[in-house]
Structure 1
Amino acid sequence: MNADRTFRQPGRWAVLAALVVLAVVMLFPFVIVTLNAFKSPAEYSSGGPLSLPHGFYLDGIVAFWDRVDFGLKLWNSLLISGVVAVAAVVLSVLNAYALGIGRVRGRLWILVLFLVANTLPQEALVYPLYYLSKEVGLYDSKLAVILIFTVIQAAFGTYLLSSVLGQFPRGILEAAEIDGASRRRMLWGIVVPISRPTLSVLLIFFFIWTWNEFFLPMVFLISNDNQTVPVALGVLQGEKMMDATMSSASALLGIIPAVAFFLIFQRTLTRGVTVGAIK
């Protein structure tokens, strides 16, 4: 027993060392961005991107915030991502309940259709969506982006939840049906509470995925008042009037909300993944 434990110990230390090195490599760009965001242009010119700042120079962050009206862009991203996450989860639950538990006819082909929809690149969807939004008068509106990403995210959520609900214990539903519970009550009173960990994981992923979207919001949100954070960052990165410190400040402000959201719901995400693994 002791010899086996001694033999395994170096392997564990090697894995731990590899993970530490990988974490350092992944965090290094974020550390550099944070350091440069608090430098003055003179400090950046004299010391370069790897030097430590002599103090907390906040003029770059304040200048970028005022130039792009970052508070408005932040609100737009929060509104779009939050509404899409909630709406996509609800739509996924309704679709998956019919496909996974209801066992509708042609279930397999419908799931294949959802799977194919997930594989389509956004470049193939942009012109039809652009044409439709123009025709119905939703172009350059947050509602258009919300509807588009709700459908896109719900396609993945439906495919995933259909597999999960397909393994749902039938005995629980049969007992509820004997007690006189309607299908609506079984869905919201039994299926949703039991599946809450999986739904929480989907909600978090949908929010982060929508927050990071750039291509479709750039096409559909051309007004400054409707732009999201990634679009504002992408548009201003090419301006010559932005120096390196202001670019770092913009990148830092862009990633802080998503990181904060992930850290706040990290326990929920871990619990959902763990429950799914146990099941």
Structure 2
Amino acid sequence: MTTSRAETAMNYLLLVVVCAFALGPIVVVLVTSLQPDLGGGGIAWGNYAEAWSQGSFARYLRTSALVSATVLVVALTASVLAGYAFGTMTFRGSTVVFSLVLVGIMVPTEAIVVPLFYDLRTLGLTNTLWAVAFPQMAQSIAFGSYWMRAYFRTAPRSLMEAARLDGASERRVLWSILVPVGRPAIVTMTVLVFMWTWNEFLIPLVMSPNGAYRTAPLALALFQGQHVQATSLLAAAAVLVALPVVVVYLFLQRHFIRGMLEGAVRE
């Protein structure tokens, strides 16, 4: 099937329009972050240094990195194990258990955050790393189990059977064969979980009321309240907070896109 020049031109035009809508706000924020607040000329690179020092973003970015790393390590490990069990094994009650896991995806954070706060306060965990990380671990494991189950269900059975015939244990089949082959799916899940954890606002706000584990998005909101008129500083602070997610995505984008395309085909 051939495509006419008019259709090709319309496709490219549509892509340009979509890219403009997607990249336009980013360009506006970047340009605004480099403008002097007093209307002077030139590029004000100092806005970033000033926002960094005034907002104490070094501390809050470290907190976000710690929370994100903790959630990632636990969620990725648990999701791979659960996805392998649900995707390759048959056991009594597996459908019921998997349905319960999916509840974690369907229930919104707003519906559980208040009772969860009281439960964690009873256990003496509020204002700790675990109060901020545990709820996000649970949500990420629910999604990750679903995501990895879809991958393991389509993994080559012949490869697994050949490994078992050679005497490989289930652990070796998983970590030495399936995990390396499934790198795109795992990287995609890594990027999504990191992005969701880094951008989470409500859970750190509620679970750490004294601000001991205030994350970067919370710090940005506080900074915004203190600098309502300083649009350049606000834009610079927003860039600082968003930069780690952009860097992680750019570093892993090839595997991320490949994993998303494979997941779409499998579904």
> TM-score when scaled to structure 1?
0.87
* 2:31 alignment partner, one of 24, 29, 35: 35
What is the CA-CA distance between 1:271 and the residue it aligns to?
3.4
- Pairing 1:267–2:254 present: yes
User: Partner residue of 2:55?
Assistant: 68
What is the CA-CA distance between 1:229 and the residue it aligns to?
0.9
Equivalent position amino acid for 1:139 in 2? T
CA RMSD of aligned residues (A): 2.2
**In the alignment, is the contact (CA less than 8 A) between 2:32 and 2:235 conserved in 1?**
yes
Deviates further, 122-131 or 56-65: 56-65
Unaligned runs of 5+ in 2: none
Q: Deviations over 1:64-118 (max 9, x none)?
A: 2112211111111122112212321110111112211122212222222222220
* 2:19 alignment partner, one of 7, 13, 23: 23
Q: Deviations over 1:17-37 (max 9, x none)?
A: 111111112212121211221
What is the CA-CA distance between 1:241 and the residue it aligns to?
6.0
Any idea what SS the aligned residue of 1:265 has? Answer: helix
How many residues align? The count is: 266
Unaligned runs of 5+ in 1: 44-52
Q: Cα 1:264–1:163, aligned 2, differ >3 Å: closer, same or farther?
A: closer
Equivalent position amino acid for 2:122 in 1? E
**In the alignment, is the contact (CA less than 8 A) between 1:141 and 1:226 conserved in 2?**
yes
* 2:98 alignment partner, one of 108, 111, 121: 111
- Pairing 1:9–2:15 present: no
Any idea what SS the aligned residue of 2:4 has? Answer: helix
In 1, Cα distance between equivalents of 2:239 and 2:258: 29
* 2:170 alignment partner, one of 160, 170, 183: 183
Structure 1's consecutive aligned runs of 4 or more residues displaced over 4 angstroms after TM superposition are: 274-279
Any idea what SS the aligned residue of 1:42 has? Answer: coil
In 1, Cα distance between equivalents of 2:102 and 2:235: 38
In 1, Cα distance between equivalents of 2:230 and 2:120: 37
* 1:127 alignment partner, one of 114, 123, 127: 114
Any idea what SS the aligned residue of 2:119 has? Answer: helix
**In the alignment, is the contact (CA less than 8 A) between 1:73 and 1:225 conserved in 2?**
no
The 5-angstrom pairing of residues 158-237 of structure 1 reads: 158-237=145-224
**In the alignment, is the contact (CA less than 8 A) between 2:131 and 2:208 conserved in 1?**
no
Q: Deviations over 1:229-249 (max 9, x none)?
A: 111111222235652222122
User: Partner residue of 1:100?
Assistant: 87
**In the alignment, is the contact (CA less than 8 A) between 1:85 and 1:204 conserved in 2?**
no
**In the alignment, is the contact (CA less than 8 A) between 2:227 and 2:234 conserved in 1?**
no
In 2, Cα distance between equivalents of 1:105 and 1:91: 20
The 5-angstrom pairing of residues 134-145 of structure 1 reads: 134-145=121-132
In 2, Cα distance between equivalents of 1:104 and 1:234: 48
In 2, Cα distance between equivalents of 1:98 and 1:264: 30
Equivalent position amino acid for 1:20 in 2? V
Deviates further, 233-242 or 22-31: 233-242
What is the CA-CA distance between 1:219 and the residue it aligns to?
1.2
What is the CA-CA distance between 1:172 and the residue it aligns to?
2.5
What is the CA-CA distance between 1:225 and the residue it aligns to?
4.5
In 2, Cα distance between equivalents of 1:63 and 1:94: 45
> TM-score when scaled to structure 2?
0.90
In 2, Cα distance between equivalents of 1:200 and 1:178: 29
